[in-house]
Chains A and B, each alone.
Chain A
Amino acid sequence: MKKIIALVLVLVMSVLAASAMAETVKIGVFEPASGDNGAGGKQEVIGIEYAHSLTPTVEVDGTTYDVELVIVDNQSATDKAVSAAQELVDAGVSIVLGSYGSGVSMAGGEVFADAEIPAIGCSCTNPGVTSLCDYYWRVCYLDPFQGTVMANFARDEFGAKSAYVLSQLGDDYTTGLATYFSKAFEEMGGTVVSEQFTEGTSDYTAYLTNAINSGADIIFCPTSTTVAALLIDQAASMNVTLPMLAGDTWESSVILDAAKGTGLTICVSTFFDEKDESSPQASEFVQGFKAWLNANPDKKTNNGGNDIVAAVSALGYDAYMVAIEAIKAAGSIESTAIAEALPSVAITGVTGSISFNEIGDANKDMAYIKKANTETGAFDFVKTQTVAELAQ
């Protein structure tokens, strides 16, 4: 009898000990792993996973919590995003990171707001993500800025007076960015012809022919990477000579692979450049991240099979670090406490210093412009552009 009691006691003790040790805080990762933006979503996730591998615990009130990442796939679709967001809420996450793609972030935002769970967008650039949702913050710049940057670049670099702007009907990211670009370009005295295509279109030759016939000097086409691959391939086979400009989404291996060996001129604006050595944090991140990718073949596959550091990975890393700081500042793993502490969090991230304004957007004012090198299959750095420079 004594033996049995002892055994039961030991079992109870060990269960208690285990549960005391297994204090965890769950961080939701709300990203597409499939669909039109799956390639980019995967790159953002590996940035978050790398940050998690460096900082796997967080200390709150003297207790060390293990951070558990709960990763869901929102399939790049606004209808699927809602149920993916609900899955995170049901899993009991304290804070959410993501998503790549503004449309899915806006769809998920409502679910997070209802559950009073704060979310930090990594690379969703549409203003509506934060302005329409009280529980969304973000660590990247916004489309009005990005659109203005590219409009200025089109004028300064290519002397463009007219632009052909192509966007996807019903997609918040591409229509938003296209609108802001057109507005900025027209304010500078340029003319714009804009057209839209519907989801699932695979023949873009008519659009490209329209672009040429419209007499435009450049094409601005901030599409998803899946569309970009088709667009680039068809532009190459039609020998299109107009420069093609796009936003942050196009800074992807998908674009480099499609453009390699063609004679196209492709320029993109983005959040981060791996060759920029002005910031020690960034250099350290780039080195560490490359080593981590090369040590983990499956992560390298998710990065497109190479160790080029995408801006979205850097943003994923920063978003995770902001989340950790917010949990520390809140002194609690309750989502409402974190949401209260988040506005005052400020860190020096790898993509620059991050602090939030009253809407929840990061005070960021610099974009990197890169050009796809069609011979080496890499992005070449062209220039940086800040808000102050644009005002002049």
Chain B
Amino acid sequence: MFDKILPYLLSGISVGGQYALIAVGYTMVYGILRLINFAHGDIFTAAGFFMVYMVTVLPIQIAIPLVVALTVLLGFTVERVAYKPLRSAPRMSVMISAIGVSYLLQNLMWYVTGGLAKQYPTIPWISQSVTIGTATTKVVTLITPVLTVLLVIALVAIIQNTKIGMAMRAVSKDFETAQLMGIKIDSVISTTFIIGSLLAAVGSVLYFSNYASVTPTAGAMPGLKAFVAAVFGGIGSIPGAVIGAFIIGICENIIKALGYTTFSDAFTFALLIVILLFKPTGLFGEKTSEKV
């Protein structure tokens, strides 16, 4: 029995780890700006394409850090160009701007790549096959959840113990008061986007090493599911997003194992509706009282 479940569990945990790395980006931005950054999934895809083109000219050891740096730059630029000028605009305007950025990035990638799937480069060691019990899988499947948890622990430590982390917590509690207290809002927000994009870049390397073809819309589905995970865990809460992501990843694969393959996506989104109906704040979300 366990022999048969093991492969599904392994891929569930791995998929969960990938969703988690994207979900953290969503949840952090939401926690601080109260903005759902719809472009996040496309930044994730862009990181995949950066890698595809980078390895054609550079060795992989140099390519990976450069890809991370470029993705961070992209996330930073998106915030500065599309969100910062709208800081005092109604929240809805920023949201529409985010949707615009998402489509802009998607279509730019479509235009630049010609719309064909690109083969993701093979990264030595992590793309190898490994056998655990009865299941054979890639090394990256095992690394993903471990790396995810380590990165998130590091992130939580930063938020709890450093000055910038304290600033972030303050801004997320009360935007205006934090500003009055002398916190440089813009740099705090930029840092948030930088951290989010960094995790998306790492997630992208892990994700595309597993599913080695990149298309302009490759990030759309994982992006959406990561968003559901963030809501499930309680949007704004980092541990919540991670736990939500793992639950969704594992459930999806178990549903497939039960033979309801066509319903696995439907399940994820049905879950979103159920949560919004019964526990709008998610698993770990804080109850917010509207300030007058």
Where the two chains meet, the residues of A that have a C-beta atom closer than 8 Å to any C-beta of B are 33-36, 38-39, 73, 75, 169, 195-198, 200-203, 205-207, 209-210, 213, 225-226, 229-230, 233-234, 236-239, 254, 257-258
What is the CA–CA distance of A35 and B217 in the complex, to the nearest angstrom? 9
Which residues of A have CB within 8 Å of B212?
229-230, 233
Cα distance A280–B56 when bound, in Å? 42
CB of B261 within 8 A of CB of A206, answer yes
Closest chain-B Cβ to A199's Cβ sits at a distance in Å of 9
CB of B138 closer than 8 Å to a CB of A: yes
Cβ of A210: which chain B residues have Cβ within 8 Å of it?
A: 256-257, 259, 261
CA distance A205 to B13 in the complex (A): 12
Q: Whole-angstrom distance from the CB of A173 to the nearest CB of chain B?
A: 17
Determine if A197 and B261 form an interchain contact, defined as CB atoms under 8 angstroms apart.
Answer: yes
How many of B's residues come within 8 Å of A, CB to CB? 35
7 further interface pairs, Cβ-Cβ under 8 Å (given A200-B221, A258-B119)? A34-B116, A36-B117, A195-B261, A205-B137, A225-B117, A229-B119, A239-B136
CA distance A201 to B31 in the complex (A): 29
Residue B242 is within 8 A (CB to CB) of chain A in the complex: no
Does any Cβ of A come within 8 Å of B114's Cβ?
A: yes
**Total contacts A to B, CB within 8 angstroms?**
94
Instruction: Report whether A229 and B256 are in contact in the complex, using a CB–CB cutoff of 8 Å.
Output: no
In the complex, the answer to whether B11 meets A206 with C-beta atoms within 8 Å is yes
Is there contact, CB below 8 Å, between A205 and B7? yes
A237 interface neighbour in B116, B137, B220, B262, Cβ under 8 Å: B137
Residue of B nearest to A41 (CB): B116
Residues of B within 8 A of A34 (CB): 110, 114-116
With a 10 A CB-CB cut-off, give which of A73, A200, A209 has the most chain B CB atoms.
Answer: A209
Interface of B is mostly: mixed
Please, which residues of chain A bring their CB within 8 A of the CB of B136?
237-239
Smallest CB–CB gap between A34 and chain B, Å? Answer: 2
The 5 closest A-B pairs by CB, nearest first: A34-B115, A206-B256, A202-B211, A205-B11, A209-B7
- The answer to whether A206 and B253 have CB atoms under 8 Å apart is yes
Residue of A with least CB distance to B224:
A200
B209 to chain A, nearest CB (A): 10
For B222, the chain A residues whose CB sits under 8 A away are: 202
Nearest A residue (CB) for B265: A198
Do A230 and B211 touch across chains, with their CB atoms under 8 A apart? yes
- Flag whether B8 is at the interface (Cβ < 8 A): yes
Residue of B117, B119, B217, B259 with most chain A CB atoms under a 10 A cut-off: B117
Report how far A201 CA is from B215 CA in the complex, Å: 12
Which residue of chain A has the shortest Cβ distance to B213 in the bound complex? Answer: A229
Could you list 16 A-B pairs, sorted by A, with CB under 8 Å?
A35-B115, A195-B259, A196-B262, A198-B265, A200-B221, A202-B218, A202-B221, A203-B210, A203-B211, A206-B257, A207-B261, A233-B212, A234-B211, A236-B129, A238-B135, A257-B119
CB closest residue in chain A, given B261? A195
Interface string of B148-164 (1 = CB under 8 A from A): 00000000000000000
Known contacts A206-B257, A239-B136, A198 near B7 by CB under 8 Å = no
B43 interface residue per 8 A CB criterion: no
- Whether B4 is near chain A, meaning CB under 8 Å from some CB there, is yes
Q: Of A35, A209, A225, which contacts B257 at CB under 8 A?
A: A209
A238 to B8 alpha-carbon distance, docked (Å): 12
Q: Is B15 an interface residue (CB 8 A)?
A: yes
With contact pairs A202-B218, A209-B257 given, residues A33 and B114 touching in the complex (Cβ less than 8 Å) = yes
Chain A nearest CB, measured from B278 CB (Å):
26
